[in-house]
Amino acid sequence: MMETTRTTYSVKKANRLKTAGITAAVIACLGLFLMPLGYGIATALKSPDQAASSEFRVLPLSPAQVQHNGEKWDLYKVPMADGSVKTLAMVQKGRQMSTFADPANLDTPPIEWKGNWRTLTPELQLDPQWSNFVTSWQAIDFVNLLKNTLLYAGVSTFGILLSSSFVAYGFARFRFPGKNLAFVLVLATMILPNMITLIPTYTFFFSIGWVGSWLPLLVPAFFANGFNIFLLRQFFMGIPRELDEAAKIDGAGPLRTLYQVILPQAVPALVAAGLFNFFYCWNDYFLPLIYLAGHPALYPISVGLSAFSTQYVIYPYLVQSASILASLLPIIIFFFTRRFFMEGVVLAGVDK
Q: How confident is the model at residue 3 (pLDDT cuts 50, 70, 90)?
A: low
Coil/strand/helix, residue 91: strand
Is 161:96 a contact under the CB 8 Å cutoff? Answer: no
pLDDT value at 21 more than 50: yes
Q: What is the mean pLDDT of residues 272-279?
A: 90
CATH of domain 133-348: 1.10.3720.10
pLDDT number for residue 351: 44
Q: What is the mean pLDDT of residues 245-256?
A: 85
Closest CA to 85 of 124, 116, 123, 125: 123
Long-range residue pairs from 201-204, CB within 8 A, at least 24 positions apart, any chain: 202/290, 202/291
Q: How confident is the model at residue 272 (pLDDT cuts 50, 70, 90)?
A: confident
The string of pLDDT tens digits covering residues 187-221 is: 888 888 888 888 899 999 999 999 999 999 999 99
What is the spatial distance between Cα 50 and Cα 313, in angstroms, rounded to a whole number? 16
CA angle 54, 56, 58 (to 5 degrees): 140
pLDDT number for residue 294: 85
Q: Where are the domains of the chain?
A: 2-44, 61-126, 133-348
Q: Is the pTM of this model over 0.85?
A: no
Q: What is the mean pLDDT of residues 278-294?
A: 91
The string of pLDDT tens digits covering residues 47-61 is: 888 887 767 788 888
pLDDT number for residue 352: 42
pLDDT number for residue 278: 92
pLDDT value at 349 more than 60: no
AA letter at 72: K
The string of pLDDT tens digits covering residues 295-333 is: 888 999 999 988 888 888 888 888 889 889 888 888 888
pLDDT number for residue 221: 92
pLDDT number for residue 70: 77
Average pLDDT, the chain: 85
260: DSSP letter: I
- Phi/psi of residue 126, nearest 5 degrees: -65, 130
The string of pLDDT tens digits covering residues 107-124 is: 777 888 888 888 888 888
The string of pLDDT tens digits covering residues 78-100 is: 888 777 888 888 888 887 888 88
Is 97:117 a contact under the CB 8 Å cutoff? Answer: no
